[in-house]
Amino acid sequence: MKPCTAIDEISALPARRLRADDSAAVADMFLRMSEQSRLRRFHSVKPYIGEQELALLLDADHTKCEAVAAMDDDGRIIAVAQYAEMGDPHTAQIAVVVVDEHQRRGIGRALVGAIMRCARTNGYDRLFVKTLLDNDAAMALFGEFGFQPYGDEDGVVELRLFG
């Protein structure tokens, strides 16, 4: 399979694939996020993003995993969306995070749409996301794309979109 062009088609904002040299920029984005945004994305309070988590974002092979970033006018990363194969060649998990000051502007929606198109292009027809049960914004965003709640465990709900 080849890399998806959906990222190149986002016209509403400057966006691009994450690269190996984006480590410092992603770490900086993480530090600009509120504690609540970090909790909602990672399901725990984290003072910084770890090397393993950075590697998962930056070592994308553009087929089994992909990660994209939106940039502000100064070229700083303000949002990241990714998908990663989970257990079989038809199932991928999606995640998205937007820096607080840029939330509720459609950036997350644009990135989720693009990353979903990439996942579908690469054969993933079973998509899921995990979010905190009280994360109304994520529940609404993924609901717009047709994701349905499947179950929850310890306050974390899995939303699924199959087919």
Domain edges within the chain: 6-162
pLDDT over 90 (residue 41): no
CATH of domain 6-162: 3.40.630.30
pLDDT of residue 130: 94
Percent of the chain with pLDDT over 70: 93
Read off the pTM. Answer: 0.86
Query: How far, in Å, CA of 126 to CA of 121, rounded?
Result: 12
pLDDT of residue 39: 76
pLDDT of residue 123: 95
pLDDT over 70 (residue 85): yes
Sequence-distant (≥ 6) Cβ neighbours of residue 157 within 8 angstroms: 130, 131, 132, 133, 139, 149, 150, 151
* Residue-averaged pLDDT of the chain: 87
pLDDT over 90 (residue 111): yes
Judge whether 19 and 58 are in contact, CB under 8 Å. yes
As to burial, measured by CB atoms within 10 angstroms (0-12 exposed, 13-18 middle, 19+ buried), residue 159 is buried
Query: How far, in Å, CA of 72 to CA of 78, rounded?
Result: 6
Alpha-carbon separation of residue 92 from 64, 77, 118, 148 (angstroms): 8, 24, 11, 15
